[in-house]
Amino acid sequence: MSTGRDGGEKSGGGASYAASGVDVVGLEPGLGGLVRRLAATTAFPRVGRPALPNGFFANVLDLGTGQGLAISTDGVGTKLLVALAMERFDTIGIDLIAMNVNDVLCVGAEPIAVVDYIAISTTDPNLLNQFAIGLVEGARQARISIPGGEIAQVRELLRPHPPHGESFDVVATAVGVVPMDRIVVGQHVQPGDVVIGLPSNGIHSNGLTLARRVLVGERGPAAYRERPAALGGASVGEELLRPTRIYVAEVMALLDAGIDVKALAHITGDGLLNLSRIAAQGVGFVLDSLPEPQPIFAMLAEAARVEKAEMYTTFNMGIGFCIVVAEADLQRTLAILQPVEPRATVLGRAVADAQRKMVLPGPGLTGTGKTFSPLR
């Protein structure tokens, strides 16, 4: 998700998110007033003013030393409800770190630390201990410290969940460092530049409201323990809990090697349309070499009977992160990525397009903003 104040979940149409409990229509007006008011705060600090407008994956504060501080905040949304139903808490911490550090990476910053906040109904030592295991694993993968945090026991704010009436919410903030003259927001992307995709690990932390409605619905926790053949042995709950991939190693390998990375996009709640959030004017994308999404996505599409446009707007469809480089840098980029992530592949290219469309010839979709529709 985004420091640019997306809602936690949102949708296009069809079997829409509004029906799944996320009221998109209500979200936008409330959000607009809030975002406009907060914009005024940019002028308040004596040092460390934000260098970017709203809407990118992270903002960057100009520390006045040539160094910028990237900052982003996010939670894991209703993936927590799957963890509660499965009574399994040792991977949610990885998702929480991932959702935040992947956003900080997108401005070209090296993540350095994450602080977390846990709102909890009862301080179950087992739950907290398991949650910490995931946090530490996420921190290890992201090469960040967790220098502080807060546990708030606020039972009265939280809705109890079966089987034991426990409830919790988790939020984190990531910070990272980037030289002020190396901030990446896609401003130099040109037609002909190449989009490289890094595979996701399933649905990550977006689209869970729709996925839960479709795969579990009113059937309750037992539905999470079913093992449909399509999932190759995993239960529904295990599949949905697969932790969000952390892309620090891939991106830092490129930045460390001095590759001129032109754009970085964490593929979250708007699917591949996240790539459209970059700053380049007059540039669109044609992604004509998308890999086959994992079986969970076909299973979701079939069970939900939603259109492809809805699927690609809601889910990552197998790609968790995109990297844009010039054609001239492609071979070196792939060579550097190879030992870190051998499944990195070219998805397509930037093209000249005043409308800044994202075109996906494979599934037959075209999109702008936050919605895909069928390609005519």
Residues within window 187-246 making contact with a second copy, judged by CB under 8 A: none
Residue identified by tokens 């030289």 is 179
Contacts (CB under 8 A) with a second copy, residues 101-140: 110, 112-113, 115-117, 119, 122-129, 131-133, 135-136, 139-140
- By CB under 8 A, is residue 178 in contact with a second copy? no
- Shorter beta-carbon distance to a second copy: residue 89 or 285: 89
Q: Contacts with a second copy: how many residues (CB under 8 A)?
A: 98
Residue identified by tokens 């921190």 is 139
- The one-character DSSP state at 274 is G
Contact 8, 75 (CB under 8 A): yes
Name the segment binding a second copy (CB under 8 A); options: 27-35, 222-230, 280-288, 354-362.
27-35
Contacts (CB under 8 A) with a second copy, residues 279-318: none
Q: Phi and psi (nearest 5°) for 239? A: -60, -45
Q: Which residue in 13, 87, 146, 332 binds a second copy (CB under 8 A)?
A: 146
- Shorter beta-carbon distance to a second copy: residue 64 or 232: 64
- By CB under 8 A, is residue 151 in contact with a second copy? yes
Binding mask 67-96 for a second copy (x = CB under 8 A): x-x-xxxxx-xx-xx---------------
Contacts (CB under 8 A) with a second copy, residues 319-338: none
Contact 144, 174 (CB under 8 A): yes
Contact 213, 238 (CB under 8 A): no
Q: Which residue in 46, 258, 281, 355 binds a second copy (CB under 8 A)?
A: 46
Name the segment binding a second copy (CB under 8 A); options: 166-174, 273-281, 328-336, 339-347.
166-174
Contact 96, 172 (CB under 8 A): yes
* Smallest distance from a second copy to CB 202, Å: 20
* Smallest distance from a second copy to CB 267, Å: 17
- By CB under 8 A, is residue 50 in contact with a second copy? yes
Q: Which residue in 13, 16, 48, 340 binds a second copy (CB under 8 A)?
A: 48
Q: How far apart are the first and last CA of the chain?
A: 30
Cα separation values, 26 from 18, 21, 157, 228, 274, Å: 9, 12, 22, 36, 22
Q: Any bridge partners for residue 94, and if so which?
A: none
Q: Any bridge partners for residue 173, and if so which?
A: 73, 115
Residue 23, both tokens: 């009221």
* Smallest distance from a second copy to CB 343, Å: 25
- Shorter beta-carbon distance to a second copy: residue 100 or 294: 100
* Smallest distance from a second copy to CB 65, Å: 5
Nearest Cα neighbor of 73 from 116, 42, 39, 30 is: 116
Q: How many CA atoms lie within 13 A of 138 on its CB side?
A: 32
Q: How far apart are CA 292 and CA 319, in angstroms?
A: 10
